[in-house]
Amino acid sequence: MNDVLKKGFLLGLGAAVTSKEKFESKVKQLVDKNELTQEQARTVLQNFVDKGEMKKDEWNSQQYEQTQKLAKEFRLATKEDIDELRARITELESKLEEE
């Protein structure tokens, strides 16, 4: 399953890089034809990057939720579960030392 997620991520990353390069090329053509100013081109490119970042954050959030769901389905311990157990163990060890 991990390999499938990795391949999917790399496929998406490759598509994004290719799309960005094509988009930048198209914007450069528009500037060369004087259909866009340099400032407009920078704004358009920045908006493109900002949208990409927003989608990346959205994707990361969805992946985290999906991972948590799968962990529950397979009854796997999450990092939060392990941290909680460590805290409880530390508390119990402290109580034992006091006695």
pLDDT at position 78 over 70: yes
Bigger pLDDT: 85 vs 70: 85
Total count of domains within the chain? 1
Q: Please report the pLDDT score of residue 48 as a whole number.
A: 81
- What local confidence, expressed as pLDDT, does residue 20 receive? 75
- Provide the domain limits for residue 88: 2-98
pLDDT grade for 96, boundaries at 50, 70 and 90:
very high
Distances (CA, A) of 50 to 18, 31, 55: 17, 21, 9
Is this structure's pTM higher than 0.85?
no
What's residue 53's pLDDT? 83
